[in-house]
């Protein structure tokens, strides 16, 4: 194959990939074009409410007192209004390392979120009307069982009684310290 044919083939493949919808490329499935080549995904708080429970966010975060106590509550009343969704994502990014460590400990692996998932969760976190509908019924059985086991039968509404909570916090801090120590040793 000569150089001109190779260049034409590469150009054709690149154009066909660029002409595919974002969903075919593994990105956002729909939304509003905001600039050349950029798409703001549709933000659905109803879908976000379902994802908050099914993806396991509720294990560590709470909404209206329902959910975990290991991370900040995500009640709409505590969120900036209006809020740039990219600021919310940036805040998640700054806390990504301990959040992923907690996900691995609590859920057995890192939560996999698409751009659409994240957009919908952000919409839910900022929608007081949709949050008012959030209940224990939104938490799938597998997540509820995990939460009940870790919390001595409670899925929110206060801290655990007795020694379970302090031991759990110590275990988590020890794990994070070990991870930090490993990074320091790798740098030296």
Domain ranges of the chain: 39-152+162-182
Topology (CATH level 3) of domain 39-152+162-182: Cytochrome Bc1 Complex; Chain D, domain 2 (1.10.760)
Cα-Cα-Cα-Cα torsion 164, 168, 171, 177, nearest 10 degrees, comes to -140
Q: Per-residue b/e over 160-187, b at no fewer than 16 CB within 10 Å?
A: beeeebeebeeebeeeeeeeeeeeeeee
User: Which alpha helices (H) appear in 20-56, and where do they start and end?
Assistant: 45-54
Cβ atoms of 89 and 122 closer than 8 Å: yes
Tokens of 129: 């009307």
Q: Look at residue 153 in the predicted model and tell me its pLDDT.
A: 46
Of 62, 59, 80, 85, the residue nearest 131 (C-alpha): 62
Q: Return the axis-axis angle of helices 115-125 and 45-54, rounded to nearest 10°.
A: 100
Tokens of 22: 């974002």
Tokens of 147: 């939460």
CA gap 77, 48 in Å, rounded: 17
Q: Look at residue 25 in the predicted model and tell me its pLDDT.
A: 42
Q: Look at residue 176 in the predicted model and tell me its pLDDT.
A: 61
Q: Look at residue 65 in the predicted model and tell me its pLDDT.
A: 94
CA gap 78, 128 in Å, rounded: 10
Per-residue pLDDT of the chain (188 residues; tens, 9 = 90+): 444 443 443 333 334 334 444 444 445 567 888 888 888 889 999 999 999 999 999 999 999 999 998 888 999 998 888 888 999 999 999 989 988 998 888 888 999 999 999 999 999 999 999 999 999 999 999 999 888 876 554 455 443 333 345 545 555 565 566 565 555 555 55
**Single pTM value for the model:** 0.66
Cis peptide before 82 (omega within 30 of 0): yes
């Amino acid at each position: 194959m000569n150089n001109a044919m190779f260049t034409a083939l590469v150009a054709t493949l690149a154009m066909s990939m660029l002409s595919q919808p974002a969903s075919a490329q593994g990105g956002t499935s729909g939304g509003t074009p905001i600039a050349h080549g950029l798409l703001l995904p549709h933000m659905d708080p109803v879908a976000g409410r379902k994802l908050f429970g099914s993806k396991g966010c509720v294990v560590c975060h709470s909404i209206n007192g329902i959910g975990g106590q290991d991370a900040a509550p995500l009640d709409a009343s505590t969120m900036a209004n209006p809020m740039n969704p990219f600021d919310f994502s940036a805040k998640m990014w700054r806390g990504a390392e301990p959040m992923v460590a907690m996900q691995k400990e609590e859920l057995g692996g890192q939560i996999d979120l698409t751009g659409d998932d994240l957009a919908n969760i952000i919409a839910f976190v900022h929608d007081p009307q949709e949050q008012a509908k959030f209940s224990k019924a939104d938490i799938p059985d597998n997540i509820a069982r995990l939460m009940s086991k870790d919390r001595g039968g409670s899925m929110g509404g206060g801290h655990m009684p007795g020694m379970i909570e302090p031991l759990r916090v110590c275990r988590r801090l020890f794990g994070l310290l070990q991870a930090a120590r490993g990074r320091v040793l790798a740098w030296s």
